[in-house]
Amino acid sequence: MALLQLEAGQTVAILSDIRLELSRLGIELAHWPIERTPKIAPLLAAEILNETQKEELLCAFDERFEDQKRRYGYQARDLVVLHSSVPNLENLLKIFDKCHTHADDEVRYIIDGTGRFGFVAPDGKQMLLTVEAGEYIRVPANTEHWFVLDENRRIKAVRYFTNKDGWVANYTGTPARF
The count of C-alpha atoms lying within 13 angstroms of the C-alpha of 122, restricted to the half-sphere facing its C-beta, is: 4
Question: Do strands 154-161 and 106-120 pair parallel, antiparallel, or not at all (unpaired)?
Answer: antiparallel
Provide the minimum distance between the beta carbon of 68 and Fe ion in the complex, in angstroms, as a whole number.
17
- For the four alpha carbons of 82, 85, 88 and 90, in that order, the dihedral sign comes to positive
**Residue 21 in the binding site for Fe ion (CB under 5 A):** no
Give the integer Cα–Cα distance in Å for 111 and 114: 9
Segment interacting with Fe ion (CB under 5 A) among 46-54, 66-74, 100-108, 153-161? 100-108
Check: CB of residue 99 under 8 Å from CB of residue 173. Answer: yes
CA distance 163 to 172: 21
Stretch that binds Fe ion, among 46-54, 72-80, 99-107, 116-124 (CB under 5 A): 99-107
Cβ-closest position to Fe ion: 106
Q: Which is nearer to Fe ion, 43 or 113 (CB)?
A: 113
Min separation Cβ 26 and Fe ion, Å? 15
Binder among 21, 104, 105, 106 for Fe ion (CB under 5 A)? 106
Residue placing its CB nearer to Fe ion in the complex, 60 or 119: 119
91, amino acid identity: N
Q: Which residues bind Fe ion (CB under 5 A)?
A: 106
